[in-house]
Structure 1
Amino acid sequence: MWYLVILSAVIAGGLAVARRRLVIVQVTGPSMLPVYRSGDRVLIRRVAGSRLRRGQVVVFESALEGRWRTGPLSAPKDSKWLIKRVAALPGDPVPPEVTHAVNAPEGALVPEGRLVVIGDGPASADSRNWGYLPADRVLGVVVRRLSPAEGSGVSS
């Protein structure tokens, strides 16, 4: 009988950790076509911006009225979230299509604490429009697509 109590505690602890580390969000908009479509639900693993790699798809908190927030991230249900692909990390060359948005000369490097993110689709507002993404605004990386369904929205 005691093993059932221990097993229940382990399962409960595992679920609590998973709830803190994993988030499900729904994609809205066309900027990540053809990989992610409006209505797709995606599983996000929370990760610090400093642990990202080029090519990963990330969900991040959008700027408010053109200004990035500082401090802790909002709760997933309390903010507008965006989804894009990481194109450059700190220390990487700024992609040529982004240099005008960040006012950088050709060959400049992405500064520490900043990322370049770009949508996969042809209609995407991203670093080409608004410049660097502060790495501390990243909620996490997409782990996998789930079936389309109702959920909290993430604009693409």
Structure 2
Amino acid sequence: MIAATAVLVLLLAAALVWVRRTWLRVTVVGPSMLPTYRPDDQVLTRKVRAGRIRAGEVVVFEGPAADEEHAATLLDQFVRDYAVVERRPLAAAPPERVRRRMIKRVAAVPGERLPFDVPGHPAGSIVPAGHLAVAGDNAAASVDSRQYGFISFDQVVGRAKVS
């Protein structure tokens, strides 16, 4: 009886570890993904390799890989336009210490043509290997690849489960 209980506890612990390594729950902040996601919506995100992402899917990724000067000019916009991981709410750390995870729709993957201008790359250019072009569903309220350029595969956290 004790052995069966121990096995059950180990199986439950292993399942919990798998879930925490595979899934991430985020809270949407800002209007950039309206009408798909509203502010305060809870989004379940499955961690995946970026190479498996396709255009049209919604991804959560680490904030833009912009240089410090460029990032500083967009900081106010970033603060209103990101997804916060539940375990680390915005109020828990000063803005410079918060890892800004953003949620956007993939507009183009490597080898595809850009549907819009990206800094240094006009619409119709080819997305380079290892990068994605992303855009918010609410273009008027979104800070995305149109402002800060491509995101690299290294920045991708996972694919959002569309409900």
TM-score range, shorter chain: 0.7 to 0.9
The alpha-carbon deviation at position 108 of structure 1 amounts to 2.5
Aligned mates of 2:4, 2:34 — CA distance in 1 = 49
Aligned mates of 1:105, 1:112 — CA distance in 2 = 17
Q: TM-score, normalised by structure 2?
A: 0.74
Percent identity (aligned): 43
Q: Once structures 1 and 2 are overlaid, which stretch shifts more, 30-39 or 107-116?
A: 107-116
Runs of 4+, deviation exceeding 4 Å:
none
Counterpart residue number, 2:112 = 92
Aligned mates of 1:127, 1:140 — CA distance in 2 = 17
Counterpart residue number, 1:47 = 48
Instruction: Give the counterpart letter for 2:158 in structure 1.
Output: G
Aligned pair count? 134
Which runs of structure 2 are paired with 1:71-150 in the superposition (5 Å)?
77=88, 78-95=98-115, 97-98=116-117, 101-105=118-122, 107-121=124-138, 122-144=140-162
Q: 1:82 to 1:143 in 2, by over 3 A?
A: same
Matched, 1:27 2:28: yes
Cα RMSD of the aligned pairs, angstroms, is 1.9
Q: Secondary structure at the match of 2:134?
A: strand
Unpaired runs of 5+ residues, structure 2, are: 72-84, 89-97
Aligned mates of 1:111, 1:131 — CA distance in 2 = 12
Unpaired runs of 5+ residues, structure 1, are: 68-75, 146-156
Counterpart residue number, 2:19 = 18
